[in-house]
A = this chain, B = another copy of it.
Amino acid sequence: MTGFRFDLFATDGAARLGRVHTAHGPVDTPAFMPVGTAATVKAMMPESVAATGAQVLLGNTYHLMLRPGAERVARLGGLHEFMNWPGPILTDSGGFQVMSLAKLRKITEQGVTFQSHIDGSRHELTPERSMDIQRLLDADITMAFDECTPFPATPEQAAQSMRLSMRWARRSRDAFAEREGYALFGIVQGGIYPDLRAESVAALVATGFDGYAVGGLAVGEGQEAMFAVLDATTPLLPADRPRYLMGVGRPSDIVGAVLRGIDMFDCVMPTRSGRTAQAFTRRGTVNIRNARHQDDPRPLDEACSCPACRNYSRAYLHHLVRSEEILGPMLLTWHNIQYYQDIMRGLRAAIAEGRTARFAEAALAAEALGDIDPL
């Protein structure tokens, strides 16, 4: 087991090519982390996720503490063993989901009390309990416990929320059990306000973290506002630590954020889209449920190496979706994860070769095509 470390190999403008070393192996950056909310990347075998090139998964503290329970996962050998994913795992802190999913939330300086959305049982999350849960899950990368600032928020609301998160970040740091190869990331908050973001960065850097996440984005502010926050924030972050943009996003969001110096991403979009018949392709986003695919013998994406594209026609995928067959979500999820990993691989190669801007342009053009007949 080696220590947690971030190697920065090359830059191209603000874009960075690097590698994060964790207790369970390396992650080449820029990296996209498929979301494994409840200890599974929905509709995929973990071997298949790995086959796409994904090196790290995201797990959800909120979901896992409620079911099957963090202590149970620990007794069963930790999350890697439990879900058969031997590679690195990052867990979020529960702060975001507790605000978006739980019932009867009550926030105090101490933490958050809430009712489970599954069975109504009462629970408490504090910075200390969140650290404990993530340790029990055996997360390679633990996220500091933070409050999810609502959007929209006034400068006063955003400041108050951010400062609470900074005090919780300090308590997270104090409670985090140091282990060789394991890391704790702080989360920059402050809404859409550059001065609050700067204050948040300063507070986190003063505390000191192994990596820095940008939180509270992709909550409705739009891509332009999100990029403006990144433009104001990433230059302030320590260059020698990985940077993670939480919950983002569409391919164009990711490409734009890499151009602004972000190294890590997670989003439910590729997996959720796979379960709703949406496929990302090099020739635009495709709704395979659309009747115009019913006789189409062509693959979803000729340049893709996933089984959905290698072995099946659009007509077949359309048939699976119309027939509500489980193989539909299985194949489309696999494809979308492959597409996202291909973009990340493409970005890494482009950064190494100093042609990131050109790569980004092509990737954005593909997304802009939308669901039209592409060939």
Chain A interface residues (CB < 8 Å from chain B): 38-40, 42-45, 47, 67-68, 72, 75-77, 82-84, 294-295, 297, 307, 311-313, 315-316, 318-320, 322-323, 325-327, 329-330
The answer to whether B316 and A83 touch across the interface, beta carbons within 8 angstroms, is yes
Given contacts A42-B327, A67-B323, A326-B326, 20 further A-B contacts (CB under 8 A): A38-B325, A39-B316, A40-B320, A40-B325, A40-B327, A42-B325, A47-B307, A67-B319, A68-B294, A68-B322, A72-B294, A76-B295, A76-B297, A76-B313, A76-B316, A82-B315, A82-B316, A83-B316, A84-B316, A326-B330
Tell which of B44, B84, B312, B329 touches A84, judged by Cβ atoms closer than 8 Å.
B312
When the two chains form their complex, are residues A76 and B42 in contact, meaning their CB atoms are under 8 A apart? Answer: no
Q: Is the CB of A313 within 8 A of B82?
A: yes
Shortest A68–chain B CB gap in Å is: 5
Enumerate chain B residues within 8 angstroms of A326, measured Cβ to Cβ: 42-43, 326, 329-330
Residues of B close to A44: CB separation below 8 A: 327
Task: Collect the chain B residues with CB atoms within 8 Å of residue A38's CB.
Answer: 319, 323, 325
How many copies of the polypeptide does the oligomer hold?
2
Interchain CB contact under 8 A, B311 and A84: yes
What B residues does A40 contact at CB under 8 A?
320, 323, 325, 327
How distant is the Cα of A78 from the Cα of B288 in the complex, in angstroms? 21
Q: Is the pair A43, B82 in contact by a Cβ cutoff of 8 Å? A: no
Cβ–Cβ contact B315 & A68, under 8 A: yes
